[in-house]
C-alpha cells in the first residue's frame, strides 16, 4: 500500500557539498554546506546549486559569479554540519573549522584543501524559484587528491569515502552494486 503525502523535497539521496566563495569588500571568503545541488548538463559540464537569499553566501555568490563545489569525506561530517548551521556573518568558517584555502586555477574562490574533490564553477544562469535562487554554473576545472587516481588515470571511487544526504540525515556510501551498462551487457551475453 502507498501513503500519499503533501508535496515536499522528497528526492533522495542528494549530494552534500561545501561551497566556497571569494570574499567581497570587507567580507572574508566563506563556506556554506548545500544539499540542493545536482548535475544539469554534460556538454558543457554544468551543475546547479540552490541558495536561500537569506544566506550570507547568497550575496557573496551574486558578487563573485564564481564558486568552488568541494566534496567532503564521510569523516568530515561534523565540519559539514557546522558549515551548514553557522552563518558567515558570525563565523570565519575556514579558520574555525580548520580548513585551508588553496588558490583555484580558473576562479577567484578558494578550494578547500582538505576536501578530496574540488569543482571550480562559473555562474551562467540565475533563476528566482521562490524560497531558493537557483544558479546554473559551468564547471571550468576539477581537482582530485592524487591518491584517488589509479595508474590508468581512473577515479578510485571507494577511496573517496563520500557522503550523501537523505531526508535531513548524513549517510556514508555502502557497497558498489554495479556499473552503468553492466546489467544490459549480462543480459546480452546470457541471451547468446
The closest of 25, 28, 192, 55 to 135, measured between CA atoms, is 55
Closest residue by Cα to residue 46 from 157, 124, 133: 124
Q: Which pairs with CB-CB distance under 8 Å and at least 24 residues apart come from 92-96? A: 92/28, 93/30, 93/31, 94/28, 94/29, 94/31
Q: Give 25 or 90: the residue with its C-beta nearer to a second copy.
A: 90
The helix/strand/coil state of 43 is coil
Closest CB 120 distance from a second copy, rounded Å: 8
Which residues, 86 to 145, sit near a second copy by CB under 8 A? Answer: 86, 102, 105, 111, 113, 117-119, 125, 127, 129-132, 134, 136, 138-145
- Report which of 138, 179, 141, 137 is spatially closest to residue 157, judged by C-alpha positions: 179
Query: Minimum distance from CB of 149 to a second copy (Å)?
Result: 6
The CB density around residue 79, as the number of other CB atoms within 10 Å, is 21
Residue 25 or 44 with smaller CB distance to a second copy: 44
Hey, which residues between 62 and 81 contact a second copy (CB under 8 A)?
69, 71, 74, 77-79, 81
Q: Determine if 163 is a binding residue for a second copy (CB under 8 A).
A: yes
Q: Tell me how far the alpha carbon of residue 20 is from its chain's centroid.
A: 10
Q: Which of 42, 151, 189, 191 binds a second copy (CB under 8 A)?
A: 42
Asked if 41 touches a second copy (CB under 8 A), the answer is: yes
Q: Is 10 in the site for a second copy (CB under 8 A)?
A: yes
Q: Applying CB under 8 A, does 166 fall inside the site for a second copy?
A: yes
Amino acid at each position: 500500500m502507498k501513503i500519499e503525502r503533501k508535496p515536499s523535497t522528497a528526492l533522495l539521496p542528494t549530494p552534500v557539498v561545501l561551497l566556497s566563495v571569494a570574499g567581497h569588500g570587507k567580507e572574508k571568503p566563506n563556506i556554506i554546506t548545500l544539499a540542493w545541488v545536482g548535475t544539469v548538463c554534460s556538454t558543457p559540464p554544468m551543475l546547479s546549486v540552490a541558495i536561500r537569499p537569506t544566506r550570507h553566501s547568497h550575496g557573496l555568490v551574486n558578487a563573485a559569479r564564481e564558486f568552488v563545489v568541494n566534496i567532503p569525506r564521510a569523516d568530515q561530517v561534523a565540519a559539514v554540519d557546522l558549515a551548514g548551521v553557522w552563518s558567515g556573518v558570525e563565523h570565519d568558517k575556514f579558520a574555525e573549522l580548520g580548513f585551508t584555502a588553496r588558490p583555484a586555477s580558473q576562479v577567484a574562490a578558494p578550494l578547500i584543501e582538505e576536501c578530496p574533490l574540488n569543482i571550480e564553477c562559473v555562474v551562467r544562469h540565475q533563476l528566482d524559484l521562490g524560497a531558493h535562487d537557483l544558479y546554473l554554473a559551468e564547471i571550468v576545472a576539477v581537482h582530485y587528491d592524487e591518491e584517488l587516481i589509479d595508474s590508468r588515470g581512473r577515479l578510485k571511487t571507494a577511496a573517496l569515502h563520500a557522503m550523501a544526504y537523505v531526508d535531513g540525515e548524513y549517510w556514508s556510501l555502502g557497497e558498489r552494486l554495479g556499473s552503468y551498462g553492466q546489467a544490459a551487457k549480462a543480459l546480452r551475453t546470457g541471451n547468446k
